[in-house]
Structure 1
Protein backbone atom coordinates (compact mmCIF):
# COMPACT_ATOMS: atom_id res chain seq x y z
CA UNK A 1 0.00 0.00 0.00
CA UNK A 2 2.74 2.46 0.93
CA UNK A 3 4.58 2.32 -2.40
CA UNK A 4 1.35 2.61 -4.37
CA UNK A 5 0.25 5.67 -2.40
CA UNK A 6 3.65 7.32 -2.79
CA UNK A 7 3.55 6.87 -6.57
CA UNK A 8 -0.05 8.05 -6.81
CA UNK A 9 0.72 11.06 -4.60
CA UNK A 10 3.67 12.00 -6.78
CA UNK A 11 1.56 11.67 -9.93
CA UNK A 12 -1.12 13.92 -8.43
CA UNK A 13 1.33 16.64 -7.44
CA UNK A 14 3.07 16.57 -10.83
CA UNK A 15 -0.13 16.90 -12.86
CA UNK A 16 0.56 19.95 -15.04
CA UNK A 17 -2.95 21.46 -15.28
CA UNK A 18 -3.46 22.08 -11.53
CA UNK A 19 0.09 23.43 -11.20
CA UNK A 20 -0.35 25.83 -14.12
CA UNK A 21 -3.67 27.03 -12.77
CA UNK A 22 -2.24 27.47 -9.29
CA UNK A 23 0.52 29.69 -10.67
CA UNK A 24 -2.14 31.97 -12.14
CA UNK A 25 -4.00 32.00 -8.83
CA UNK A 26 -0.81 33.13 -7.09
CA UNK A 27 -0.24 35.85 -9.66
CA UNK A 28 -3.70 37.34 -9.11
CA UNK A 29 -4.53 40.11 -6.66
CA UNK A 30 -4.17 38.75 -3.10
CA UNK A 31 -2.78 35.65 -4.76
CA UNK A 32 -1.10 34.22 -1.65
CA UNK A 33 -4.40 34.21 0.23
CA UNK A 34 -6.23 32.71 -2.72
CA UNK A 35 -3.45 30.15 -3.07
CA UNK A 36 -3.93 29.13 0.55
CA UNK A 37 -7.67 28.70 -0.05
CA UNK A 38 -6.89 26.60 -3.13
CA UNK A 39 -4.57 24.36 -1.09
CA UNK A 40 -7.06 23.96 1.76
CA UNK A 41 -9.81 22.96 -0.68
CA UNK A 42 -7.41 20.59 -2.45
CA UNK A 43 -6.43 18.93 0.85
CA UNK A 44 -10.04 18.81 2.00
CA UNK A 45 -10.93 16.74 -1.07
CA UNK A 46 -8.13 14.26 -0.38
CA UNK A 47 -8.95 13.96 3.31
CA UNK A 48 -12.68 13.61 2.66
CA UNK A 49 -12.14 10.77 0.19
CA UNK A 50 -9.80 8.97 2.59
CA UNK A 51 -12.23 9.45 5.49
CA UNK A 52 -15.11 7.99 3.47
CA UNK A 53 -13.06 4.92 2.58
CA UNK A 54 -11.95 4.39 6.18
CA UNK A 55 -15.53 4.74 7.40
CA UNK A 56 -16.54 2.08 4.90
CA UNK A 57 -13.78 -0.34 5.98
CA UNK A 58 -13.85 0.70 9.66
CA UNK A 59 -10.07 1.04 9.44
CA UNK A 60 -9.60 -2.68 8.84
CA UNK A 61 -8.38 -4.14 5.53
CA UNK A 62 -10.91 -6.41 3.80
CA UNK A 63 -10.13 -10.11 3.76
CA UNK A 64 -8.11 -11.40 0.84
CA UNK A 65 -10.28 -12.50 -2.11
CA UNK A 66 -13.38 -10.99 -0.51
CA UNK A 67 -15.80 -8.91 -2.57
CA UNK A 68 -14.48 -5.53 -1.24
CA UNK A 69 -10.87 -6.59 -1.78
CA UNK A 70 -11.53 -7.83 -5.31
CA UNK A 71 -13.62 -4.75 -6.07
CA UNK A 72 -10.81 -2.41 -4.99
CA UNK A 73 -8.34 -4.24 -7.23
CA UNK A 74 -10.80 -4.14 -10.12
CA UNK A 75 -11.15 -0.37 -9.69
CA UNK A 76 -7.37 0.08 -9.70
CA UNK A 77 -7.09 -2.13 -12.78
CA UNK A 78 -9.77 -0.12 -14.58
CA UNK A 79 -8.05 3.14 -13.67
CA UNK A 80 -4.70 1.76 -14.80
CA UNK A 81 -6.11 0.68 -18.15
CA UNK A 82 -7.86 4.05 -18.48
CA UNK A 83 -4.61 5.90 -17.82
CA UNK A 84 -2.81 3.82 -20.42
CA UNK A 85 -5.53 4.52 -22.96
CA UNK A 86 -5.49 8.23 -22.16
CA UNK A 87 -1.70 8.34 -22.37
CA UNK A 88 -1.75 6.67 -25.79
CA UNK A 89 -4.50 9.03 -27.00
CA UNK A 90 -2.64 12.06 -25.68
CA UNK A 91 0.58 10.93 -27.34
CA UNK A 92 -1.16 10.65 -30.69
CA UNK A 93 -2.74 14.10 -30.33
CA UNK A 94 0.47 15.83 -29.21
CA UNK A 95 1.09 19.00 -31.17
CA UNK A 96 -2.54 19.77 -31.92
CA UNK A 97 -3.73 23.27 -31.02
CA UNK A 98 -5.43 23.51 -27.62
CA UNK A 99 -7.22 26.07 -25.52
CA UNK A 100 -5.90 27.47 -22.30
CA UNK A 101 -6.85 24.81 -19.68
CA UNK A 102 -9.86 25.50 -17.45
CA UNK A 103 -10.25 29.09 -18.68
CA UNK A 104 -7.03 30.13 -16.99
CA UNK A 105 -7.08 33.56 -18.59
CA UNK A 106 -10.03 34.45 -16.32
CA UNK A 107 -8.38 33.40 -13.06
CA UNK A 108 -6.82 36.79 -12.34
CA UNK A 109 -10.24 38.26 -11.55
CA UNK A 110 -11.50 35.31 -9.52
CA UNK A 111 -12.37 35.42 -5.81
CA UNK A 112 -11.24 33.10 -3.04
CA UNK A 113 -14.38 31.07 -3.65
CA UNK A 114 -13.32 30.72 -7.27
CA UNK A 115 -9.93 29.43 -6.13
CA UNK A 116 -11.60 26.87 -3.85
CA UNK A 117 -13.94 25.71 -6.60
CA UNK A 118 -11.06 25.49 -9.04
CA UNK A 119 -9.14 23.23 -6.63
CA UNK A 120 -12.08 20.84 -6.55
CA UNK A 121 -12.57 21.02 -10.32
CA UNK A 122 -8.90 20.44 -11.17
CA UNK A 123 -8.37 17.63 -8.69
CA UNK A 124 -7.22 14.65 -10.82
CA UNK A 125 -10.15 12.53 -9.67
CA UNK A 126 -9.05 9.42 -11.53
CA UNK A 127 -5.80 9.38 -9.55
CA UNK A 128 -7.65 10.24 -6.35
CA UNK A 129 -9.93 7.26 -6.99
CA UNK A 130 -6.85 5.06 -7.41
CA UNK A 131 -5.62 6.35 -4.07
CA UNK A 132 -9.00 5.62 -2.50
CA UNK A 133 -8.93 2.04 -3.79
CA UNK A 134 -5.46 1.65 -2.31
CA UNK A 135 -6.55 3.07 1.06
CA UNK A 136 -9.03 0.18 1.27
CA UNK A 137 -6.07 -1.86 2.55
CA UNK A 138 -5.24 0.60 5.33
CA UNK A 139 -5.02 -0.86 8.84
CA UNK A 140 -5.46 1.97 11.33
CA UNK A 141 -4.28 -0.19 14.22
CA UNK A 142 -0.71 0.50 13.09
CA UNK A 143 0.89 3.91 13.58
CA UNK A 144 2.79 3.45 10.30
CA UNK A 145 -0.53 3.52 8.44
CA UNK A 146 -1.36 6.96 9.79
CA UNK A 147 2.08 8.19 8.74
CA UNK A 148 1.60 6.72 5.27
CA UNK A 149 -1.74 8.46 4.82
CA UNK A 150 -0.26 11.77 5.98
CA UNK A 151 2.68 11.32 3.61
CA UNK A 152 0.29 10.62 0.75
CA UNK A 153 -1.66 13.83 1.37
CA UNK A 154 1.53 15.87 1.71
CA UNK A 155 3.04 14.40 -1.45
CA UNK A 156 -0.14 15.04 -3.41
CA UNK A 157 0.01 18.69 -2.31
CA UNK A 158 3.78 19.22 -2.20
CA UNK A 159 4.12 21.16 -5.48
CA UNK A 160 1.36 23.57 -4.42
CA UNK A 161 2.81 23.99 -0.93
CA UNK A 162 6.27 24.69 -2.36
CA UNK A 163 4.95 27.42 -4.65
CA UNK A 164 2.79 28.90 -1.88
CA UNK A 165 5.76 29.19 0.51
CA UNK A 166 7.94 30.60 -2.26
CA UNK A 167 5.35 33.24 -3.16
CA UNK A 168 4.90 34.11 0.52
CA UNK A 169 8.53 34.57 1.50
CA UNK A 170 10.09 35.57 -1.85
CA UNK A 171 7.26 37.38 -3.67
CA UNK A 172 9.44 39.40 -6.05
CA UNK A 173 11.50 36.45 -7.25
CA UNK A 174 8.52 34.11 -7.25
CA UNK A 175 6.50 36.16 -9.72
CA UNK A 176 9.05 35.93 -12.52
CA UNK A 177 10.18 32.37 -11.83
CA UNK A 178 6.72 30.90 -11.47
CA UNK A 179 5.62 32.55 -14.71
CA UNK A 180 8.70 31.11 -16.39
CA UNK A 181 7.78 27.70 -14.97
CA UNK A 182 4.25 28.04 -16.32
CA UNK A 183 5.57 28.94 -19.77
CA UNK A 184 7.85 25.90 -19.73
CA UNK A 185 5.03 23.64 -18.57
CA UNK A 186 2.74 24.98 -21.30
CA UNK A 187 5.31 23.88 -23.87
CA UNK A 188 5.85 20.46 -22.26
CA UNK A 189 2.49 19.60 -20.70
CA UNK A 190 1.61 16.97 -23.31
CA UNK A 191 4.85 15.09 -22.71
CA UNK A 192 4.33 15.28 -18.95
CA UNK A 193 0.76 13.98 -19.17
CA UNK A 194 1.79 11.12 -21.45
CA UNK A 195 4.67 10.09 -19.20
CA UNK A 196 2.66 10.24 -15.99
CA UNK A 197 -0.36 8.47 -17.47
CA UNK A 198 1.59 5.61 -19.05
CA UNK A 199 3.97 5.09 -16.13
CA UNK A 200 1.31 5.05 -13.43
CA UNK A 201 -1.18 3.24 -15.67
CA UNK A 202 1.15 0.32 -16.32
CA UNK A 203 2.10 0.20 -12.65
CA UNK A 204 -1.49 0.09 -11.40
CA UNK A 205 -2.61 -2.38 -14.06
CA UNK A 206 0.37 -4.68 -13.50
CA UNK A 207 0.03 -4.64 -9.72
CA UNK A 208 -3.72 -5.23 -9.85
CA UNK A 209 -3.45 -8.14 -12.30
CA UNK A 210 -0.71 -9.80 -10.22
CA UNK A 211 -2.86 -9.58 -7.09
CA UNK A 212 -6.04 -10.72 -8.82
CA UNK A 213 -4.48 -13.78 -10.45
Structure 2
Protein backbone atom coordinates (compact mmCIF):
# COMPACT_ATOMS: atom_id res chain seq x y z
CA UNK A 1 0.00 0.00 0.00
CA UNK A 2 2.74 2.47 0.95
CA UNK A 3 4.55 2.21 -2.38
CA UNK A 4 1.33 2.67 -4.36
CA UNK A 5 0.32 5.69 -2.30
CA UNK A 6 3.76 7.28 -2.74
CA UNK A 7 3.63 6.82 -6.52
CA UNK A 8 0.09 8.20 -6.72
CA UNK A 9 0.93 11.13 -4.43
CA UNK A 10 4.03 11.98 -6.46
CA UNK A 11 2.10 12.05 -9.73
CA UNK A 12 -0.67 14.16 -8.19
CA UNK A 13 1.77 16.78 -6.94
CA UNK A 14 3.48 16.95 -10.36
CA UNK A 15 0.27 17.10 -12.40
CA UNK A 16 0.59 20.41 -14.27
CA UNK A 17 -2.96 21.81 -14.32
CA UNK A 18 -3.31 22.42 -10.54
CA UNK A 19 0.27 23.69 -10.41
CA UNK A 20 -0.41 26.22 -13.18
CA UNK A 21 -3.55 27.42 -11.41
CA UNK A 22 -1.72 27.70 -8.09
CA UNK A 23 1.00 29.82 -9.68
CA UNK A 24 -1.68 32.24 -10.86
CA UNK A 25 -3.25 32.25 -7.40
CA UNK A 26 0.06 33.07 -5.71
CA UNK A 27 0.83 35.80 -8.24
CA UNK A 28 -2.46 37.57 -7.57
CA UNK A 29 -3.23 40.31 -5.07
CA UNK A 30 -3.14 38.78 -1.54
CA UNK A 31 -1.76 35.68 -3.21
CA UNK A 32 -0.35 34.17 -0.01
CA UNK A 33 -3.80 34.11 1.64
CA UNK A 34 -5.47 32.84 -1.50
CA UNK A 35 -2.75 30.20 -1.82
CA UNK A 36 -3.39 29.10 1.76
CA UNK A 37 -7.11 28.75 1.02
CA UNK A 38 -6.26 26.71 -2.09
CA UNK A 39 -4.01 24.37 -0.08
CA UNK A 40 -6.50 23.92 2.75
CA UNK A 41 -9.30 23.06 0.30
CA UNK A 42 -6.96 20.70 -1.56
CA UNK A 43 -6.02 18.91 1.67
CA UNK A 44 -9.65 18.84 2.82
CA UNK A 45 -10.60 16.93 -0.33
CA UNK A 46 -7.86 14.36 0.23
CA UNK A 47 -8.75 13.92 3.90
CA UNK A 48 -12.46 13.65 3.11
CA UNK A 49 -11.88 10.91 0.53
CA UNK A 50 -9.62 8.96 2.90
CA UNK A 51 -12.07 9.34 5.78
CA UNK A 52 -14.94 8.10 3.63
CA UNK A 53 -13.01 5.00 2.59
CA UNK A 54 -11.97 4.24 6.17
CA UNK A 55 -15.56 4.73 7.31
CA UNK A 56 -16.70 2.15 4.77
CA UNK A 57 -13.98 -0.37 5.63
CA UNK A 58 -14.00 0.25 9.37
CA UNK A 59 -10.24 0.68 9.26
CA UNK A 60 -9.73 -3.01 8.48
CA UNK A 61 -8.48 -4.23 5.09
CA UNK A 62 -10.73 -6.76 3.33
CA UNK A 63 -9.55 -10.32 3.04
CA UNK A 64 -7.52 -11.13 -0.08
CA UNK A 65 -9.65 -12.35 -3.02
CA UNK A 66 -12.81 -11.22 -1.24
CA UNK A 67 -15.41 -9.23 -3.25
CA UNK A 68 -14.43 -5.87 -1.66
CA UNK A 69 -10.72 -6.52 -2.31
CA UNK A 70 -11.38 -7.58 -5.89
CA UNK A 71 -13.64 -4.57 -6.46
CA UNK A 72 -10.90 -2.19 -5.23
CA UNK A 73 -8.35 -3.79 -7.55
CA UNK A 74 -10.81 -3.66 -10.45
CA UNK A 75 -11.37 0.05 -9.75
CA UNK A 76 -7.62 0.71 -9.80
CA UNK A 77 -7.32 -1.25 -13.04
CA UNK A 78 -10.16 0.73 -14.63
CA UNK A 79 -8.62 4.04 -13.53
CA UNK A 80 -5.22 2.94 -14.84
CA UNK A 81 -6.67 1.99 -18.22
CA UNK A 82 -8.54 5.30 -18.33
CA UNK A 83 -5.36 7.27 -17.61
CA UNK A 84 -3.42 5.38 -20.29
CA UNK A 85 -6.17 6.02 -22.86
CA UNK A 86 -6.38 9.68 -21.88
CA UNK A 87 -2.62 10.11 -22.08
CA UNK A 88 -2.56 8.47 -25.50
CA UNK A 89 -5.43 10.65 -26.66
CA UNK A 90 -3.67 13.84 -25.52
CA UNK A 91 -0.49 12.71 -27.26
CA UNK A 92 -2.23 12.03 -30.58
CA UNK A 93 -4.23 15.25 -30.39
CA UNK A 94 -1.10 17.28 -29.70
CA UNK A 95 0.63 15.79 -32.74
CA UNK A 96 -2.14 16.61 -35.21
CA UNK A 97 -3.45 19.87 -33.77
CA UNK A 98 -2.03 23.20 -34.75
CA UNK A 99 -3.42 26.35 -33.09
CA UNK A 100 -4.44 28.89 -35.76
CA UNK A 101 -3.17 32.40 -35.33
CA UNK A 102 -6.74 33.68 -34.95
CA UNK A 103 -7.44 31.19 -32.17
CA UNK A 104 -4.22 32.12 -30.42
CA UNK A 105 -5.15 35.76 -30.66
CA UNK A 106 -8.58 35.03 -29.23
CA UNK A 107 -7.17 33.09 -26.27
CA UNK A 108 -7.27 34.85 -22.89
CA UNK A 109 -4.10 36.85 -22.31
CA UNK A 110 -1.98 36.39 -19.23
CA UNK A 111 -2.69 39.91 -17.91
CA UNK A 112 -6.45 39.27 -18.15
CA UNK A 113 -6.09 36.02 -16.20
CA UNK A 114 -4.04 37.83 -13.57
CA UNK A 115 -6.62 40.59 -13.35
CA UNK A 116 -9.44 38.11 -12.82
CA UNK A 117 -7.44 36.31 -10.16
CA UNK A 118 -6.68 39.64 -8.45
CA UNK A 119 -10.41 40.22 -8.09
CA UNK A 120 -11.16 36.67 -6.91
CA UNK A 121 -11.79 35.99 -3.24
CA UNK A 122 -10.12 33.41 -1.02
CA UNK A 123 -13.31 31.34 -1.34
CA UNK A 124 -12.90 31.36 -5.11
CA UNK A 125 -9.34 30.11 -4.69
CA UNK A 126 -10.61 27.30 -2.44
CA UNK A 127 -13.28 26.37 -4.99
CA UNK A 128 -10.64 26.31 -7.72
CA UNK A 129 -8.67 23.76 -5.71
CA UNK A 130 -11.71 21.49 -5.52
CA UNK A 131 -12.42 21.82 -9.25
CA UNK A 132 -8.84 21.17 -10.30
CA UNK A 133 -8.21 18.21 -8.00
CA UNK A 134 -7.21 15.32 -10.32
CA UNK A 135 -10.12 13.20 -9.15
CA UNK A 136 -9.20 10.15 -11.19
CA UNK A 137 -5.81 9.98 -9.49
CA UNK A 138 -7.39 10.67 -6.12
CA UNK A 139 -9.80 7.83 -6.86
CA UNK A 140 -6.82 5.53 -7.40
CA UNK A 141 -5.53 6.63 -4.00
CA UNK A 142 -8.93 5.89 -2.46
CA UNK A 143 -8.93 2.38 -3.94
CA UNK A 144 -5.49 1.87 -2.42
CA UNK A 145 -6.55 3.16 1.01
CA UNK A 146 -8.99 0.24 1.17
CA UNK A 147 -5.98 -1.83 2.29
CA UNK A 148 -5.24 0.46 5.25
CA UNK A 149 -5.19 -1.25 8.64
CA UNK A 150 -5.67 1.33 11.38
CA UNK A 151 -4.55 -1.14 14.04
CA UNK A 152 -0.99 -0.54 12.81
CA UNK A 153 0.66 2.90 13.11
CA UNK A 154 2.38 2.32 9.76
CA UNK A 155 -0.97 2.84 8.05
CA UNK A 156 -1.39 6.27 9.66
CA UNK A 157 2.12 7.21 8.52
CA UNK A 158 1.38 6.00 4.98
CA UNK A 159 -1.82 8.05 4.79
CA UNK A 160 -0.06 11.12 6.19
CA UNK A 161 2.80 10.69 3.70
CA UNK A 162 0.30 10.44 0.85
CA UNK A 163 -1.48 13.66 1.80
CA UNK A 164 1.77 15.58 2.30
CA UNK A 165 3.37 14.27 -0.88
CA UNK A 166 0.27 15.02 -2.97
CA UNK A 167 0.40 18.61 -1.64
CA UNK A 168 4.17 19.06 -1.52
CA UNK A 169 4.57 21.15 -4.69
CA UNK A 170 1.87 23.57 -3.52
CA UNK A 171 3.34 23.78 -0.02
CA UNK A 172 6.83 24.43 -1.41
CA UNK A 173 5.61 27.31 -3.58
CA UNK A 174 3.54 28.77 -0.73
CA UNK A 175 6.46 28.70 1.71
CA UNK A 176 8.83 30.13 -0.91
CA UNK A 177 6.45 33.04 -1.45
CA UNK A 178 6.13 33.63 2.30
CA UNK A 179 9.86 33.66 3.11
CA UNK A 180 11.35 35.03 -0.14
CA UNK A 181 8.60 36.86 -2.04
CA UNK A 182 10.94 38.67 -4.44
CA UNK A 183 12.83 35.61 -5.59
CA UNK A 184 9.67 33.51 -5.49
CA UNK A 185 7.86 35.93 -7.80
CA UNK A 186 10.63 35.68 -10.40
CA UNK A 187 10.81 31.90 -10.05
CA UNK A 188 7.04 31.53 -10.39
CA UNK A 189 7.07 33.66 -13.53
CA UNK A 190 9.64 31.34 -15.05
CA UNK A 191 7.71 28.28 -13.93
CA UNK A 192 4.51 29.66 -15.43
CA UNK A 193 6.24 30.23 -18.77
CA UNK A 194 7.74 26.74 -18.76
CA UNK A 195 4.41 25.11 -17.91
CA UNK A 196 2.65 27.05 -20.66
CA UNK A 197 5.12 25.65 -23.19
CA UNK A 198 5.27 22.09 -21.82
CA UNK A 199 1.82 21.52 -20.31
CA UNK A 200 0.64 18.90 -22.80
CA UNK A 201 3.78 16.71 -22.69
CA UNK A 202 3.71 16.86 -18.88
CA UNK A 203 0.06 15.75 -18.81
CA UNK A 204 0.84 12.88 -21.18
CA UNK A 205 3.82 11.70 -19.14
CA UNK A 206 2.08 11.85 -15.75
CA UNK A 207 -1.05 10.08 -17.02
CA UNK A 208 0.90 7.35 -18.81
CA UNK A 209 3.28 6.73 -15.91
CA UNK A 210 0.55 6.41 -13.30
CA UNK A 211 -1.80 4.57 -15.66
CA UNK A 212 0.77 1.92 -16.56
CA UNK A 213 1.75 1.56 -12.91
CA UNK A 214 -1.85 1.01 -11.82
CA UNK A 215 -2.55 -1.44 -14.64
CA UNK A 216 0.58 -3.47 -13.91
CA UNK A 217 0.06 -3.58 -10.15
CA UNK A 218 -3.64 -4.37 -10.41
CA UNK A 219 -3.18 -7.19 -12.93
CA UNK A 220 -0.40 -8.68 -10.82
CA UNK A 221 -2.52 -8.66 -7.65
CA UNK A 222 -5.62 -9.94 -9.44
CA UNK A 223 -3.78 -12.87 -10.99
CA UNK A 224 -1.39 -13.81 -8.17
TM-score bucket of the superposed structures, by smaller chain? over 0.9
Q: Are 1:187 and 2:197 matched, yes or no?
A: yes
Residue number in structure 1 paired with 2:154: 144
Match of 2:19 in 1: 19
Q: Describe the superposition over 1:21-77 as per-residue Cα deviations: whole angstroms up to 9, x where unpaired.
A: 001101111100010000000000000000000010000000111111011001000
Match among 208, 213, 216 for residue 198 of structure 1: 208
User: After superposition, where does 1:170-185 map in structure 2 within 5 Å?
Assistant: 170-185=180-195
**Superposition map of 1:1-213 within 5 A:** 1-94=1-94, 96=97, 97=99, 104=113, 106-213=116-223
Counterpart CA distance in 2 for 1:104 and 1:126 is 27
Cα RMSD after superposing both structures? 1.4
Equivalents in 1 of 2:22, 2:40: separation in Å? 13
Assess if the C-alpha contact under 8 Å between 1:16 and 1:189 holds in 2: yes
Cα displacement (A) at 1:104: 4.9
Q: Deviation per CA, 1:87-125: give whole Å up to 9, x if none.
A: 10011112633866xx95532321001000000000000
Aligned residues: 211
TM-score (norm 2): 0.91
Say which one has the larger Rg.
2
**8 Å contact from structure 1 (residues 24, 108) kept in 2:** no
Q: CA–CA distance in 2 between the matches of 1:13 and 1:7?
A: 10
**Cα distance change on mapping 1:104 and 1:55 into 2, 3 Å:** farther
- Relative to the length of structure 1, the TM-score reads 0.96
Alpha-carbon offset, residue 179 of structure 1: 1.1
What SS does the corresponding residue of 2:22 show, helix, strand or coil?
Answer: helix
Structure 2 residue ranges without an equivalent (≥5): none
Question: How far 1:17 moved relative to its partner?
Answer: 0.6
**Contact map agreement 1:46 1:128 (CA 8 A) in 2:** yes
Name the CA distance, whole Å, in 2 between partners of 1:23 and 1:179.
8
Q: Distance in 1 between matches of 2:119 and 2:83?
A: 33
Query: 2:113 & 2:74 partners in 1: Cα distance?
Result: 35
Distance in structure 1 (CA, Å) of the matches to 2:177 and 2:164: 18
